[in-house]
Amino acid sequence: GAVVSQHPSRVICKSGTSVKIECRSLDFQATTMFWYRQFPKKSLMLMATSNEGSKATYEQGVEKDKFLINHASLTLSTLTVTSAHPEDSSFYICSASKVAGAGEQYFGPGTRLTVT
């Protein structure tokens, strides 16, 4: 199998606080993980590509100081939304690519963030 988990599945936080979202590949090693954002009834928007042991590559328009990404091991990447604001409220989804595989990305179940 290829299972990716995310934690938490849902989080509510106050403006100005920081929130950390974890993405784990449970049964495979992932050299690369991807973080997406999705607004209601809209397609996935790639935020950044995260390689184990190196700095993440952010897409144009994504603030790297606001969305901190760490990929400390082959099975774990974290996204920290710093100084969250209501406009950061969204559905955040990670995906992972197998080390030995090619092409397929397996998605986590997503994290719904609400900033009040």
Q: Which residues here bind other proteins, judged by CB under 8 A?
A: 2, 4, 6, 31-32, 34, 43-44, 46, 49, 51, 91, 93, 95, 97-98, 101-110, 112
Smallest separation, CB 60 to other proteins (Å): 13
In 3D, which of 25, 29, 46 has the Cα closest to residue 37?
A: 46
Nearest to 5 by CA among 26, 36, 27, 32: 26
Cβ closest to other proteins, residue 44 vs residue 82: 44
Which residues, in sequence order, are bridge partners of residue 90? 113
Q: Of the two residues 34 and 67, which places its CB atom closer to other proteins in the complex?
A: 34
**Nearer Cβ to other proteins (16/101):** 101
State the Cα–Cα distance between residues 115 and 109, nearest whole angstrom: 20
